[in-house]
Amino acid sequence: MDSIELSQIRCYGYTGLLPEEQVLGQWFEVDLTLWLDLHKASASDVIDDTLDYRQAIAQVKEIIKTEKFALVERLAGAIADRLLTLEKVQHVRVRLSKPAAPIPDFGGRITIDITRPTRQEA
Protein backbone atom coordinates (compact mmCIF):
# COMPACT_ATOMS: atom_id res chain seq x y z
CA MET A 1 0.00 0.00 0.00
CA ASP A 2 1.19 3.53 -0.78
CA SER A 3 1.79 6.11 1.91
CA ILE A 4 2.63 9.72 2.61
CA GLU A 5 4.93 10.44 5.54
CA LEU A 6 4.97 13.77 7.33
CA SER A 7 7.57 14.30 10.01
CA GLN A 8 8.42 16.80 12.70
CA ILE A 9 5.09 18.61 12.85
CA ARG A 10 5.75 20.80 15.86
CA CYS A 11 3.02 22.56 17.81
CA TYR A 12 2.39 24.05 21.24
CA GLY A 13 -0.50 22.55 23.20
CA TYR A 14 -2.10 22.00 26.59
CA THR A 15 -2.32 18.25 27.15
CA GLY A 16 -0.83 16.76 30.30
CA LEU A 17 -1.64 15.11 33.58
CA LEU A 18 -0.34 17.96 35.74
CA PRO A 19 -2.53 21.06 36.09
CA GLU A 20 0.33 23.34 35.04
CA GLU A 21 0.71 21.41 31.78
CA GLN A 22 -2.87 22.30 30.90
CA VAL A 23 -2.32 25.94 31.82
CA LEU A 24 1.25 26.67 30.73
CA GLY A 25 1.37 24.18 27.88
CA GLN A 26 4.35 22.58 26.16
CA TRP A 27 5.68 21.54 22.78
CA PHE A 28 4.56 18.38 21.00
CA GLU A 29 6.03 16.79 17.91
CA VAL A 30 4.12 14.52 15.52
CA ASP A 31 5.22 12.17 12.77
CA LEU A 32 2.51 10.75 10.53
CA THR A 33 2.21 7.96 8.04
CA LEU A 34 -0.96 8.14 5.99
CA TRP A 35 -1.75 5.12 3.84
CA LEU A 36 -3.78 5.70 0.70
CA ASP A 37 -3.86 4.68 -2.94
CA LEU A 38 -1.47 6.93 -4.87
CA HIS A 39 -1.76 5.05 -8.16
CA LYS A 40 -4.00 7.61 -9.86
CA ALA A 41 -2.03 10.63 -8.60
CA SER A 42 1.28 9.12 -9.65
CA ALA A 43 -0.03 8.96 -13.21
CA SER A 44 -2.18 12.12 -13.39
CA ASP A 45 -0.06 14.77 -11.61
CA VAL A 46 -3.36 16.25 -10.30
CA ILE A 47 -3.73 17.29 -6.64
CA ASP A 48 -7.36 16.11 -6.49
CA ASP A 49 -6.13 12.56 -7.05
CA THR A 50 -4.15 12.53 -3.81
CA LEU A 51 -4.35 13.89 -0.28
CA ASP A 52 -3.36 17.52 0.09
CA TYR A 53 -1.10 16.95 3.07
CA ARG A 54 -1.34 20.59 4.10
CA GLN A 55 -4.84 19.64 5.25
CA ALA A 56 -3.46 16.84 7.46
CA ILE A 57 -0.87 19.15 9.00
CA ALA A 58 -3.53 21.77 9.73
CA GLN A 59 -5.76 19.15 11.40
CA VAL A 60 -2.92 17.96 13.66
CA LYS A 61 -2.05 21.51 14.71
CA GLU A 62 -5.67 22.43 15.37
CA ILE A 63 -6.18 19.45 17.68
CA ILE A 64 -2.97 20.06 19.62
CA LYS A 65 -3.69 23.79 20.02
CA THR A 66 -7.37 23.55 20.97
CA GLU A 67 -7.91 20.24 22.77
CA LYS A 68 -6.98 19.54 26.40
CA PHE A 69 -6.52 15.97 27.58
CA ALA A 70 -4.83 14.48 30.63
CA LEU A 71 -3.12 11.74 28.63
CA VAL A 72 -0.94 12.02 25.54
CA GLU A 73 -2.41 8.66 24.52
CA ARG A 74 -5.80 10.38 24.21
CA LEU A 75 -4.29 13.21 22.18
CA ALA A 76 -2.66 10.74 19.78
CA GLY A 77 -5.98 8.90 19.45
CA ALA A 78 -7.84 12.13 18.71
CA ILE A 79 -5.35 12.97 15.98
CA ALA A 80 -5.69 9.49 14.44
CA ASP A 81 -9.49 9.66 14.56
CA ARG A 82 -9.55 13.07 12.86
CA LEU A 83 -7.12 12.05 10.12
CA LEU A 84 -9.17 8.96 9.35
CA THR A 85 -12.04 11.26 8.39
CA LEU A 86 -9.99 12.72 5.54
CA GLU A 87 -11.04 11.43 2.16
CA LYS A 88 -8.72 8.80 0.69
CA VAL A 89 -6.92 7.96 3.98
CA GLN A 90 -7.13 4.20 4.62
CA HIS A 91 -4.77 3.78 7.58
CA VAL A 92 -2.91 6.20 9.79
CA ARG A 93 0.11 5.97 12.07
CA VAL A 94 0.60 8.73 14.62
CA ARG A 95 3.85 9.08 16.55
CA LEU A 96 3.26 11.80 19.13
CA SER A 97 6.27 12.93 21.15
CA LYS A 98 6.47 15.02 24.26
CA PRO A 99 10.09 16.23 24.09
CA ALA A 100 10.23 17.89 27.51
CA ALA A 101 7.98 15.95 29.87
CA PRO A 102 8.03 17.46 33.38
CA ILE A 103 9.52 14.38 35.07
CA PRO A 104 12.36 14.93 37.55
CA ASP A 105 15.75 13.56 36.45
CA PHE A 106 14.43 12.58 33.01
CA GLY A 107 15.86 14.36 30.00
CA GLY A 108 14.44 12.09 27.32
CA ARG A 109 11.27 12.18 25.31
CA ILE A 110 8.03 10.26 25.61
CA THR A 111 6.53 8.95 22.37
CA ILE A 112 3.14 7.37 21.81
CA ASP A 113 2.91 5.31 18.62
CA ILE A 114 -0.51 4.19 17.38
CA THR A 115 -1.72 2.78 14.09
CA ARG A 116 -5.38 2.76 13.14
CA PRO A 117 -7.33 1.54 10.11
CA THR A 118 -10.47 3.25 8.84
CA ARG A 119 -13.65 2.19 10.66
CA GLN A 120 -14.67 -0.03 7.73
CA GLU A 121 -11.47 -2.07 8.11
CA ALA A 122 -11.41 -2.24 11.91
Supply the residues annotated as catalytic: 98
Cα–Cα distance measured from residue 17 to residue 29, given in angstroms and rounded to the nearest whole number = 18
Radius of gyration of the chain (CA): 16
* Cα–Cα separations (whole angstroms), residue 117 to 65, 81, 85, 94, 121: 25, 10, 11, 12, 6
**Nearest 5°: CA angle at 11, between 68 and 90?**
85
